C-alpha cells in the first residue's frame, strides 16, 4: 500500500522510528514503524533522513500479525489504530491472494490500495475471505 503525506511526528530510538504521517488528500493520519539499520540515533535524537514537516511517499505493509479472525463477508473493511501514537493496528480486509502460507495481499475497500500482510504463523486463507488481522503498520523496506 503506497501513501503520500507529511511527517507530523518522528520518534527516534536507536535504529527504530515511529512516524506519524498525515495524508495529503484527507484528514487521515497513520502511525507507522520504520527501521533504519544504517542510522543509529540515541532515543529522542534527530533523525538525519526523516524530519517533521517533510513530504514523504511510503510503501506500507502489515507485519508481525499475531491475531487473525475471520469475520462476516458484509463487515465494514478498514484500518483502525486504537492505541494512541502507536503503529499497532487492526485491518479488516478481504484476501485478494495468498503469496505464501503466512503472507497475503488484501484490500480494505474499493478504490484503496492493496496491503501486504505478513503473519507470524501459517493460515489457510483463500481469495474473498474477510479477515481481521492485528499487527504492526510498517514501512515496507
pLDDT for the residue numbered 108: 83
13 and 76, same domain (yes or no): no
Q: Which of 37, 60, 83 is the last residue of a domain?
A: 60
pLDDT in tens, 51-101: 999 999 999 999 999 999 999 878 899 999 999 999 999 999 999 999 999
pLDDT for the residue numbered 73: 78
78 and 116, same domain (yes or no): yes
pLDDT at 21 over 90: yes
132 and 66, same domain (yes or no): yes
Q: Locate 139 and state its grid cell.
A: 514501512
54 and 84, same domain (yes or no): no
Residue 3's closest CA among 47, 35, 49, 34?
34
Give me the number of domains the chain comprises: 2
82 and 22, same domain (yes or no): no
pLDDT for the residue numbered 81: 96
Q: Cβ distance 98 to 68 under 8 Å?
A: no
Domain holding 32, by residue range, is 2-60
Rounded Cα–Cα distance for residues 129 and 88 (Å): 22
| pTM for this predicted structure | 0.90
47 and 91, same domain (yes or no): no
120 and 66, same domain (yes or no): yes
Rounded Cα–Cα distance for residues 91 and 78 (Å): 6
Residue-wise DSSP of 8-48: EEEEEEBTEEEEEEEETTSS-EEEEEEE-TT--B-TT---S
pLDDT in tens, 97-125: 999 999 999 998 777 789 999 999 999 89
103: β partners: 100, 118
pLDDT at 39 over 80: yes
pLDDT at 9 over 80: yes
pLDDT at 50 over 80: yes
Instruction: Tell me the mean pLDDT in the region 24-32.
Output: 91
Q: Which of 60, 75, 105 is the last residue of a domain?
A: 60
14 and 39, same domain (yes or no): yes
66 and 55, same domain (yes or no): no
Distance of CA 29 to the CA centre of its chain: 12
Amino acid at each position: 500500500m503506497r501513501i503520500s503525506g507529511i511527517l507530523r511526528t518522528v520518534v527516534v530510538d536507536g535504529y527504530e522510528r515511529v512516524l506519524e504521517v498525515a495524508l495529503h488528500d484527507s484528514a487521515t493520519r497513520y502511525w507507522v514503524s520504520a527501521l533504519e539499520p544504517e542510522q543509529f540515533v540515541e532515543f529522542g535524537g534527530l533523525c538525519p533522513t526523516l524530519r517533521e514537516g517533510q513530504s514523504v511517499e511510503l510503501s506500507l505493509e502489515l507485519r508481525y500479525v499475531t491475531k487473525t479472525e475471520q469475520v462476516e463477508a458484509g463487515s465494514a473493511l478498514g484500518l483502525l489504530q486504537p492505541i494512541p501514537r502507536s503503529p499497532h493496528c487492526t485491518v479488516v480486509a478481504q484476501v485478494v491472494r495468498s503469496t505464501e502460507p503466512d503472507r497475503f495481499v488484501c484490500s480494505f475497500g474499493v478504490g484503496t490500495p492493496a496491503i501486504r500482510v505478513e503473519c507470524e504463523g501459517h493460515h489457510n486463507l483463500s481469495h474473498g475471505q474477510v479477515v481481521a488481522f492485528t499487527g504492526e503498520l510498517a514501512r515496507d523496506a
